[in-house]
């Protein structure tokens, strides 16, 4: 089915951004609200205060004034940043295949970077000299072969991947903070080089400084923009392994560079290979792996999370059952449905109210957890 794109004016875009900047609104809750109210952003904003108090006493619910959204958009316009909604034509196609896709991203730089097939390269911040050299060689060769290299602008492997890609083609840096948040500070020169010959992406507010909880969101965009994820170096417990897991959930290929069993920095990536990840020693290995996979950019954009739904009646009993069932550990919605004995639409609607109330948090991949104060 051909994707139907939306033409948004600045005011409509501002209202969507206002919803996204509201406390306790994440991609899953945004998707549920858009579905329940058939995409009517005015109706959603009008209903929010009532929805936020139906599940109990609202703790941190606050809709930002539209004036603050206009200021953010004006700040973005001055620096050449664009806000792109999930249903607009220039939204990156691989990212739109996620369920749900990030509702709106902020982009600086060249749109051409999104038109080439993307490959993510991630790894250790304190990478070895050997890991850095392999990363540079592979990134440079892949860029020369017509691929866009995607990474997170961090120290170590990320920085090497970006810098090497710029020698021949495009690279995309995905930030956990706002698109203007250069971190680490020593990457200011690299940041400017990526702006000149690639793109910077974030879904966070302009001027926002990242916290630890923002990096999983960043990693989801890194993998979502890519056909495959190459782990260059990763310890047993590392964010790169989380990216690999997210990539598998998104249907992306996972590849890893083998390393010495004596080096703690490569134990995680070696373990990925034992579990079935493609073993990579050079760019040709990456290209060979991609030739045997189904590129995500050929997938149909995900429309299901935003499709119109009738608003189900939510009983207080279901709300209380969900409060008991949820724990700080994210649990898949199918297991939650089994425990509370309710159909999917009712559980999703109730979770939306609990998230607006600040009691629950929904996560990509169909998980939900209880928020601990």
Per-residue pLDDT, 237: 77
Report which DSSP code applies to 184.
Answer: S
Helices and strands: H and E segment counts in the chain: 15, 12
CA 205 from centre of chain: 14
pLDDT in tens, 29-42: 898 889 888 899 99
Q: Which domains does the chain have, with CATH numbers?
A: 105-298 (3.40.50.450)
What is the arithmetic mean of pLDDT over 82-94?
Answer: 94
pLDDT for the residue numbered 316? 82
- Encoded tokens for 161: 């991947």
Q: Could you tell me the pTM of the whole model?
A: 0.84
| 342-363 pLDDT tens trace | 988 888 888 888 887 778 888 7
Given a cut of 80, whether residue 312 has pLDDT beyond it is no
pLDDT per position as a tens digit, 152-210: 999 999 999 999 999 999 999 999 999 999 999 999 999 999 999 999 999 999 999 99
**pLDDT at residue 3, rounded to an integer:** 62
Q: Where does the chain show beta strands of DSSP type E?
A: 82-85, 104-109, 118-122, 148-151, 171-174, 199-202, 228-231, 253-256, 278-279, 331-332, 360-363, 367-370
User: Which pLDDT belongs to residue 362?
Assistant: 81
Is the per-residue pLDDT at 273 higher than 80? yes
Q: Does 302 have pLDDT greater than 60?
A: no
User: Distance between CA atoms of 140 and 152, rounded to whole angstroms?
Assistant: 17
What is the full DSSP assignment across 288-353? HHHHTS--GGGSPPP-GGGS--------HHHHHHHHHH--SS-EEHHHHHHHHT--HHHHHHHHHH
């Amino acid at each position: 089915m051909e994707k139907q794109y939306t033409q948004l004016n600045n005011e409509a875009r501002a209202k969507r951004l206002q919803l996204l900047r509201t406390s306790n609104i994440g991609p899953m809750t945004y998707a549920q609200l858009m579905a329940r109210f058939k995409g009517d952003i005015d109706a959603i904003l009008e209903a929010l205060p009532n929805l936020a108090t139906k599940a109990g006493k609202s703790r941190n619910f606050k809709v930002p004034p539209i004036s603050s959204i206009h200021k953010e958009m004006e700040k973005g316009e001055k620096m050449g940043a664009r806000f792109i909604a999930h249903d607009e034509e220039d939204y990156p196609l691989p990212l739109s295949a996620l369920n749900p896709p990030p509702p709106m991203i902020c982009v600086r730089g060249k749109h051409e970077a999104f038109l080439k097939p993307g490959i993510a390269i991630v790894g250790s911040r304190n990478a070895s000299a050997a890991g850095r050299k392999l990363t540079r060689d592979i990134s440079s060769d892949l860029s020369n072969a017509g691929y866009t290299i995607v990474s997170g602008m961090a120290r170590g492997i990320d920085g090497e991947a970006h810098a090497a890609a710029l020698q021949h083609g495009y690279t995309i840096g995905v930030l956990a903070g706002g698109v203007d948040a250069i971190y680490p500070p020593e990457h200011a020169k690299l940041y400017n080089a990526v702006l000149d010959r690639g793109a910077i992406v974030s879904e966070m507010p302009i001027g926002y400084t990242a916290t630890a909880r923002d990096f999983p969101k960043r990693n989801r965009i890194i993998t979502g923009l890519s056909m495959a994820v190459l782990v260059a170096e990763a310890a047993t417990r590392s964010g790169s392994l989380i990216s690999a897991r997210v990539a598998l959930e998104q249907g992306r290929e996972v590849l890893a560079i083998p390393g010495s069993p004596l080096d703690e920095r490569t134990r995680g990536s070696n373990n990925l290979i034992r579990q079935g990840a493609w073993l990579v020693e050079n760019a040709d290995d990456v290209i060979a792996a991609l030739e045997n996979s189904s590129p995500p950019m050929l997938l149909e954009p995900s429309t299901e999370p935003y499709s119109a739904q009738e608003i189900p009646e939510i009983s207080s009993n279901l709300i209380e059952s969900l409060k008991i069932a949820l724990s700080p550990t994210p649990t898949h919605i199918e297991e939650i449905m089994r425990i509370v004995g309710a159909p999917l639409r009712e559980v999703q609607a109730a979770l939306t109210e609990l998230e607006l109330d600040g009691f629950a948090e929904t996560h990509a991949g169909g998980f939900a957890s209880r928020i601990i104060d």
